[in-house]
Amino acid sequence: MLTRLLAATGALALLTVVPGPDLAVVTRRALVAGPRDALRTVAGIATGLLVWGALAVAGLAAVLAASPAAYPAVRLLGAGYLVFLGAQALWQHRRAASAAPAHKGPAAVGGPWRTGLVSNLLNPKIAVFYTGLLPALAPPGLPPAWAMTLLVLLHTALTLAWLGGYVLLLSRAGPVLHQPRIRRALGRTTGVTLIGFGLLLATAGT
């Protein structure tokens, strides 16, 4: 059982550090509003994982993943939300004046926790991940519901550690990131990345 759990931890860690929409959303929030808001965004993402985990344990995520109507609807909503965030980032950094004080950036729109939560809940790939991969990684010797719960909590902890550490790394690079030229370049890159993830999500089922 311990060997299986260690293998599951390694697989979850690799999946956690692969760049995706969550990382782009956190990056955008860190650039726009600073590390505190970015950490609250991370907390929202973690809450979304817990919600998806509860749905997976209850079997509802599997129903969503298999539904010919529900899955595409959530997928398109998630894609639209990512494109909206990307366009918002591009617009905000386009309007940011290069002479603005280093500690001020374009105002963030929407609560950070809510932004992280919504971006995660509107990612139906989490449902597929939790219903397709987690059962295969579940350690033997535990009831399926308990094994799934353990893996969901483990994945949430890894996500908090990874994204939280990433935010702290960005905050340490503050003097560089606060340079107007760097902020604009990163803001544009993040905006384009979010739009790209949204378009990929929108066309994933085609």
The whole model's pTM is what? 0.76
Q: Please state, rounded to an integer, the average pLDDT across all residues of the chain.
A: 81
10 Å CB burial of residue 22 (0-12, 13-18, 19+) is buried
By C-alpha distance, which of 53, 34, 33 is closest to 45? 53
pLDDT digits (tens, 9 = 90+) for 85-125: 788 777 765 655 443 444 444 445 568 999 999 989 988 77
Q: How far apart are CA 20 and CA 100, in angstroms?
A: 30
What stretches of the chain show up as alpha helix (H) in DSSP? 2-17, 21-33, 35-58, 60-66, 70-95, 112-121, 124-132, 134-137, 144-172, 174-177, 180-203
Decide: 49 and 157 in contact? Cβ < 8 Å.
no
Tens-digit pLDDT profile for residues 132-172? 778 878 887 888 888 889 999 999 999 999 999 999 998 88
The phi-psi region of residue 160 (left if phi > 0; otherwise alpha if psi is between -120 and 50; otherwise beta) is alpha
